[in-house]
Amino acid sequence: MTSVTGIIKNSAGFHLRPAQLFVEKANEFKAKVMVKNEKGMSVAGKSILGLMTLGVECGSQIIIETEGEDEVSAAQALLDLINSKFGEE
């Protein structure tokens, strides 16, 4: 399993649009993706609704866990997406 930690930097947090982009990116990989918020709540990283229920705000930390043959590239791609602020602002 690969685990990376990222900080959500876009001002509106992890809402619908970022969640959609995250799921699209996650679906490019075979690896299973799980996302955890600071409270330890864990959801499937390929579910828009799941990600939205995390209620992650700007400045919060999330942990991305990937598992599968392409887990390292999946984790890196998802971390890059978060760091790009999902193309917002």
Partner 1 sequence: MELLDIITDETVFIGLEASSQEECLQAMAGGMEKAGILSNKDVYIAAVAEREHKGSTGIGFGVAIPHGKSSGVQTPGLAFARLKSPVEWNSLDGKPVQLVFLIGVPEEAAGDAHIKILIALSRKLVHAEFREKMLAVNSTAELYQVLQAI
Q: Round to whole Å and give the CA distance between 29 and 42.
A: 19
Q: 4: which residues sit within 8 A by CB, 6+ positions away? A: 63, 64, 75, 76, 78, 79
Nearer to partner 1 by C-beta: 46 or 74? Answer: 46
x/- track of binding to partner 1 for residues 44-73 (CB under 8 A): ---xxxx-xx-x-x----------------
Minimum CB distance to partner 1, residue 56 (Å): 9
The interface with partner 1 within residues 7-46 (CB under 8 A) comprises 11-13, 15-17, 20, 23-24
